[in-house]
Amino acid sequence: MSQKHNIKRGVSLYSFQEEFFLRKMTLEDIIATTQKLGIPGFEIIGDQMIPNYPYISDDFVKQWHGWMDKYERTPVCLDMFLDWNKYKGRVMTDDERLESVSKDIVNANKLGCTVIRMIHDVQPELLEKLEPSARKYNVKLALEIHAPSYYDSPHEQRLIELFRRVQSPYLCFTLDMGVFTKKIPRVATERFVREGMKREIAEYIAKGYNTGTLPSSHELGKPNTALNDKILAMGGRKEDIFWAMMGSHGIFGDPSLLKEYIPHTSHIHGKCYEIMVPEYREYSIPYEDIVPLLIEGGYSGYIDTEYEGNRWIQDAFEVDSTEQVRRHQVMLKQLLGEE
């Protein structure tokens, strides 16, 4: 098990969003929790937990570095968004987009982060223009591959062409492990039923997803009409179509592609919905099959736990993000041969 590798463990503070949203934990509480859980690196969404982002105050930067010293933490990654629709009646110009992301690069550097998780709808041309700035500030621009897209999707293939042409370590991917969602999350199908979906429809969706036989057209941002029709034919409601769409847009990408594309992958989101105990396994995502491939392929960045089960259970249960993150980290330690 103790095969040599350089993979590091981290956590995205996104995982603690429920407690932050409800003001049960402050940013400092969350950073302190990452120390208690023994997680070396972490990642933050500027818009989620940094006041008035992207305009970070000097006081915040000072306090931030104070926390890093106090809790002995390493900031790894800053997550950005490109709100190109924020101006009324028009989209951002190319210059405005460049300026927006340039600000994120400077911010990452101020916070001590060496990676930016780029939102997936950033175009290759913009990434290329940003490369000199990324180099100057020593921040990798890691565009996120997120289900239902994968390495072999058209946008990602255009990016790979760019990466091969430019040959810069500063242009790369973040891979979200949701691309290996082999089974539909159980927390999702249970929610379907709580939302009033007939159990037989929920079971049909789960079985269809898990066996890859759902009538579907997995295309980013487009409705899955074949499945909709089937749900209606089974006596489902329009609300059921919404929930089915929310729960079944995961994919199980071909893990054998990892080998070829790991050299272009600098960051990983360790997506999780529900970590089962005592076996410490993710219900939907077979990390036990994927992590060995990451080791074998020479992946050398962080795997940052990204707990997203909260949104499926918050209607009926108290969310315990800390416990889910702890479990995911126990699993990673096992799979990385740390214990």
Partner 1 sequence: MYDKYLIVGEEFKNVVEGSKVTGFQFGLRLPYYRGVVCSLVGRTKLTVDGESIPWEAMTVTIGGKTIKMAELENEPEHKWEFGNIGIVKVEKPGGLKPGGHRLQLEQEMKISYVPGGFWGHDEKVLNLVG
Give kind and range of the element (H or E) at residue 267.
Answer: strand 265-272
- Which C-beta is closer to partner 1: that of 51 or that of 235? 51
Residue 3 backbone zone (phi > 0: left; psi -120 to 50: alpha; other: beta): beta
Q: How far is the CB of 57 from partner 1 (least distance, A)?
A: 13
Q: How far is the CB of 87 from partner 1 (least distance, A)?
A: 5
- Which C-beta is closer to partner 1: that of 86 or that of 199? 86
Residue 160 backbone zone (phi > 0: left; psi -120 to 50: alpha; other: beta): alpha
Stretch that binds partner 1, among 80-88, 135-143, 228-236, 256-264 (CB under 8 A): 80-88
* 23 makes contact with partner 1 (CB under 8 A): yes
The footprint of partner 1 on residues 102-131 (CB under 8 A) is: 119-121
Name the DSSP letter for residue 317.
S
Asked whether the beta carbons of 247 and 188 are under 8 A apart, the reply is yes
**Axis-axis angle for helices 287-296, 321-335 (nearest 10):** 50
Parallel, antiparallel, or unpaired: how do β-strands 265-272 and 8-12 relate?
unpaired
- Which C-beta is closer to partner 1: that of 243 or that of 280? 243
The footprint of partner 1 on residues 170-229 (CB under 8 A) is: 221-222
- Which C-beta is closer to partner 1: that of 96 or that of 288? 96
Q: How many residues bind partner 1 (CB under 8 A)?
A: 29
* 21 makes contact with partner 1 (CB under 8 A): yes
Q: How far is the CB of 53 from partner 1 (least distance, A)?
A: 7
* 158 makes contact with partner 1 (CB under 8 A): no
| Sole binder of partner 1 in the list 26, 36, 38, 47 (CB under 8 A) | 47
Is 233 strand, coil or helix?
Answer: helix
- Which C-beta is closer to partner 1: that of 227 or that of 262? 227
Give Cβ neighbours of residue 268 (< 8 Å, ≥ 6 apart): 174, 175, 176, 177, 294, 299, 301, 302, 303, 304
Q: How far is the CB of 297 from partner 1 (least distance, A)?
A: 28
Asked whether the beta carbons of 128 and 102 are under 8 A apart, the reply is no
Tokens of 144: 């996120």
Query: Is the bond preceding residue 169 a cis peptide, omega within 30 degrees?
Result: no
- Which C-beta is closer to partner 1: that of 8 or that of 237? 237
- Which C-beta is closer to partner 1: that of 120 or that of 140? 120
Give the length of the chain. 339
Query: Is the bond preceding residue 54 a cis peptide, omega within 30 degrees?
Result: yes
The footprint of partner 1 on residues 293-322 (CB under 8 A) is: 311, 314-315
The binding site for partner 1 (CB under 8 A) comprises 14, 17, 20-23, 45, 47-49, 51-53, 81-88, 119-121, 221-222, 311, 314-315
